[in-house]
């Protein structure tokens, strides 16, 4: 019984210390919950960002009109497994490395960013970076790949 | 068997192995909590802010437990916390497998092409859980800071 009591007390102390360290570290380094693209989120984004979130019907309409280029913000491996047909892959974490690809993006089309779905924020992060890079017409398809697939809309799957 | 389990050198090896492993796997996650939150989100259990909060705290638990186990301080609490985390991780992997999710574990690396979940992953977790339980129930942690502090004469 004593063993469990000591263990439980020590475990609680460690968990509390870990929580404090985790939040202090991410607060100082502006990562995780304190990262700009996360804290701005889909619900409380920068002016203009909220209105640029589009739903699946609008995404479908843009896709079918040919006026949009879809940009997949996920990891290349996930992109290789499957993506919206004709989409290009610019993982948010590789934005700087992909400068050449970004410069060649069409300026006369609507850029639609997406990632997995509501559980990810990289579509928002990528949209912010593209706007900063001078692209005026950027939309965020926040429901993303999961919703697109669920609707049976055109995809490219290259296997595992 | 009892002699092997209570051997102080075996305990030291197990403690340092588990401790170093935890420190190593925590570093990637601490460096990139957003990727780790995405790995958590892949399990379709927690998403958004709760996943990000977990991704903020969990790697630090692994780091602190790892350092504590390797140095031999708060061994009981660290092994209990690690054991509890392993139980939760294992349940999450089982639940993902039952739902046919083909996802990366997010345990050792944040690269989604590596470390895919499977029944082998559950075996790994159970082995680590057994190690944590062994450390929790053992008394003979001779080469540890806990023991060093306890054995110092009062007032020294």
Q: Is the CB of B21 inside 8 Å of chain A's CB atoms?
A: no
CATH number (domain holding residue A96): 3.40.250.10
B133 touches chain A (CB under 8 A): no
pLDDT digits (tens, 9 = 90+) for A97-153: 898 899 899 988 899 999 988 767 788 889 888 988 888 889 999 889 989 999 999
Interface test with B, best of A6, A18, A36, A80 (most B CBs within 10 A): A18
Complex ipTM, two decimals?
0.85
How many domains, chain A? Answer: 2
Q: How far is CA B97 from CA A49, B40, B67, B110, in A?
A: 37, 14, 32, 19
- Find residues 85-114 of chain B whose CB sits inside 8 Å of chain A: 102, 111-113
Q: At what angle do helices B75-98 and B48-71 cross, to 10 degrees?
A: 140
Q: Are B77 and A13 in contact (CB under 8 A)?
A: yes
Query: At residue A80, does pLDDT exceed 80?
Result: yes
Domain regions of chain B by residue span: 2-151
Bridge partners of residue A84, in order along the sequence: A155
pLDDT grade for B71, boundaries at 50, 70 and 90:
very high
The predicted model scores a pTM of: 0.66
Task: Based on the fold, state whether residues A24 and A57 are members of the same structural domain.
Answer: no
Do A93 and A126 belong together in one domain?
yes
Average pLDDT over residues B20-41: 89
| Residue A145 and residue A101 in one domain | yes
CA distance, residue B1 to nearest chain A CA (Å) = 22
Which structural domain, as residue segments, surrounds residue A130? 40-156
- Across the interface, do A7 and B64 touch by the CB < 8 Å criterion? no
- How buried is B45 (Cβ within 10 angstroms: 0-12 exposed, 13-18 middle, 19+ buried)? middle
- Whether A88 and A107 map to the same domain: the answer is yes
Work out the burial of residue A11: count CB atoms within 10 Å of its CB; fewer than 13 is exposed, 13-18 middle, 19 or more buried.
buried
Domain check: are A26 and A104 in the same one? no
- Give the pLDDT confidence score for residue B155 in this predicted structure: 62
Question: A70 and A26 share a domain?
Answer: no
A58 lies in the same domain as A132? yes
A111 Rama sector, left if φ>0, alpha if ψ -120 to 50, beta otherwise: beta
């Amino acid at each position: 019984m004593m063993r469990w009591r000591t263990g439980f007390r020590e475990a609680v102390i460690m968990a509390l210390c870990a929580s404090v360290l985790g939040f202090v570290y991410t607060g100082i380094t502006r990562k995780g919950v304190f990262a700009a693209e996360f804290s701005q989120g889909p619900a409380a984004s920068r002016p203009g960002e909220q209105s640029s979130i589009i739903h699946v019907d609008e995404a479908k309409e843009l896709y079918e009109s040919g006026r949009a280029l879809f940009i997949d913000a996920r990891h290349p491996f996930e992109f290789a497994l499957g993506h919206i047909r004709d989409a290009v892959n610019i993982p948010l974490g590789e934005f700087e490395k992909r400068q050449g690809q970004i410069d060649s993006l069409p300026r006369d089309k609507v850029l639609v960013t997406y990632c997995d779905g509501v559980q990810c924020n990289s579509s928002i992060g990528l949209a912010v970076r593209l706007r900063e890079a001078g692209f005026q017409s950027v939309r965020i398809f926040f429901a993303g790949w999961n919703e697109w697939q669920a609707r049976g809309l055109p995809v490219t799957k290259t296997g595992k | 068997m009892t002699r092997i389990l209570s051997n102080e050198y075996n305990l030291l090896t197990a403690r340092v192995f588990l401790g170093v492993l935890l420190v190593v796997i925590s570093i990637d996650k601490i460096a990139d909590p957003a990727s780790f939150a995405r790995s958590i989100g892949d399990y379709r259990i927690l998403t958004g802010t709760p996943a990000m909060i977990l991704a903020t705290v969990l790697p630090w638990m692994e780091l602190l437990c790892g350092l504590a186990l390797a140095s031999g301080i708060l061994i009981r609490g660290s092994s209990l916390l690690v054991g509890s985390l392993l139980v939760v991780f294992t349940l999450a992997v089982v639940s993902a497998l039952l739902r046919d999710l083909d996802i990366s574990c997010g345990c050792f690396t944040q690269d989604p092409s590596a470390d895919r979940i499977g029944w082998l992953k559950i075996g790994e977790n159970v082995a680590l859980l057994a190690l944590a339980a062994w450390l929790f129930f053992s008394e003979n942690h001779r080469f540890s800071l806990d023991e060093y502090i306890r054995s110092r004469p009062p007032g020294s």
